[in-house]
Amino acid sequence: MASFLIISVCIAGCSSNASSAHTTPQPVPENTISTVEPSEMALQLAEIPGIFTLKEKAERVASDVSQTAHNYGWIKGYTVSFQNINIDPLSAIVISQGISVYPRANVTKLLPEMKAHYVNVANESISVDELPDPGIGDYSQAFRITYKESNLKVYVIDFVKNDVYEQLSMQGTTTDYETLKNLGKVAVAKIK
């Protein structure tokens, strides 16, 4: 549950910083804006490997995103999540995608903001580890958040392409970061 809260806050409209493989995020050039609606960029159930069901699919409205998102000029967005419940409901796996469109000049500023957020979540019972840059989009970063007492893990990939910021996450007691990276490649290809 704590994991869900962290991811909900994260998907509410922030993002983390760029990792070492990409250079420091710079403003997106004027001619690189998305031409499709966020709903068209959303992952589809058929693209999720394994046995998942659709948990949520919705347009994001202003009240869904954080004050930080508004400060950076959040324009519009979409969210979708999928859930896999095995025999034991406590071992449910949730894959979530948050999509947000920002002014070109601000979209990359979200990455350092989210990195600071993830780092601030760490405490005695929650560890946060930055992972190597997954190389998705123009700039990307990844983190693993582990709840030590429950062994619940959350993998998060933040990436920017054009004027779009996306956050993908997978949470549960059984997770697969490679699957999440592959979903990131599917997601980034939908930004046109």
Tokens of 114: 């989210």
The structure's pTM equals 0.84
Residue 174 binned pLDDT confidence (cut-offs 50, 70, 90): confident
Tens-digit pLDDT profile for residues 9-34? 444 444 333 333 344 565 555 557 88
Stretch among 20-24, 110-114, 180-184, 186-190 having the lowest mean pLDDT: 20-24
Number of C-alpha atoms within 13 angstroms, CB side, residue 181?
13
CA dist 157 and 3 (Å) reads: 15
The predicted model gives 34-62 an average pLDDT of: 94
Main-chain phi, psi angles of 164, to 5 degrees: -110, 130
Check residue 24 and give its pLDDT. 57
Contact, 84 vs 93, CB < 8 A? yes
Average confidence score pLDDT of the chain: 85
CA dist 64 and 100 (Å) reads: 11
CA dist 94 and 86 (Å) reads: 11
Please check the confidence at residue 5 and state whether its pLDDT lies above 70: no
Please check the confidence at residue 114 and state whether its pLDDT lies above 50: yes
Among residues of the chain, what percentage have pLDDT more than 70?
Answer: 81
Check residue 150 and give its pLDDT. 86
Q: Give strand pairing partners of 142.
A: 131, 157
Check residue 95 and give its pLDDT. 97
The predicted model gives 104-125 an average pLDDT of: 92
Check residue 6 and give its pLDDT. 44
The predicted model gives 95-122 an average pLDDT of: 93
Residue 50 binned pLDDT confidence (cut-offs 50, 70, 90): confident
List the domains of the chain with CATH numbers.
2-189 (3.40.1000.70)
Please check the confidence at residue 127 and state whether its pLDDT lies above 50: yes
Among residues of the chain, what percentage have pLDDT more than 90?
Answer: 70
